[in-house]
Amino acid sequence: MTTNRNSRRDFMKTSIAGAAGIAISSRASSYARILGANDRVRVAFVGPGDRARDALIPAFLRLAVELNFEPVAVCDIWNKRRDEGADFVAQKADELKVPLGGEQLAKARNTDELYSMKNIDAVIIATADFQHAYHCIEGVRAGKDVYVEKPFANTMNDARAALKLVSA
């Protein structure tokens, strides 16, 4: 069994590059083509609201094939947001020719349900600002790689708690 430390760092590097829209060199492109199914990163979106649909999900999907990422699930406590988010990811993935992890995206009602799924390697957190640190902690404790947008935390206690866990 491998540790998540290196894969978490790799995930963070590639996610930040994708979210920022940084161009990937041709060398990275050729490397991505030789990755196998065991190297695929299966990703879930936590909080697929307006911000996620306007920026994070499209940026992720534009680079998903090249970086061997696969969208597999959407998580939100509000069923309307969850259904809209899953439909949006599926529609955008179809437009960009990104294969989904299965026939359709899984829909989790909460993060307990999401983290009980065995096919999730990483999560992209796009919840309300004050929840970012909490969801980061939750994802790391569940053994997932985590990308969290800014602002990261509203209180220093939340930021310190997440830092302590991530740097352990």
Interior/surface letters 54-70, b for 16+ CB within 10 angstroms, e for the rest = eebbbbbbebbbbbbbb
- Indicate the pTM of the whole model: 0.77
Lay out the sheet containing 145-148: strands in order across: 106-108, 69-75, 41-46, 122-125, 145-148
For residues 87 and 9, the answer to whether their CB atoms sit within 8 Å is: no
List, for residues 32-68, the tens digit of each pLDDT value.
455 555 789 999 999 999 989 999 999 999 999 999 9
Q: E strands, the chain, where? A: 41-46, 69-75, 106-108, 122-125, 145-148
Closest by CA to 115, choosing from 87, 138, 91, 81, is: 138
pLDDT: which is higher, 27 or 159:
159
The 10s digit of each residue's pLDDT in 99-151 is 998 889 999 999 999 999 999 999 999 999 999 999 999 999 999 999 998 89
Residue 51 CB neighbour total at 10 angstroms: 15
Question: Cα separation of 55 and 15, whole Å?
Answer: 12
Asked whether the CA dihedral 87, 64, 47, 113 is positive or negative, the reply is positive
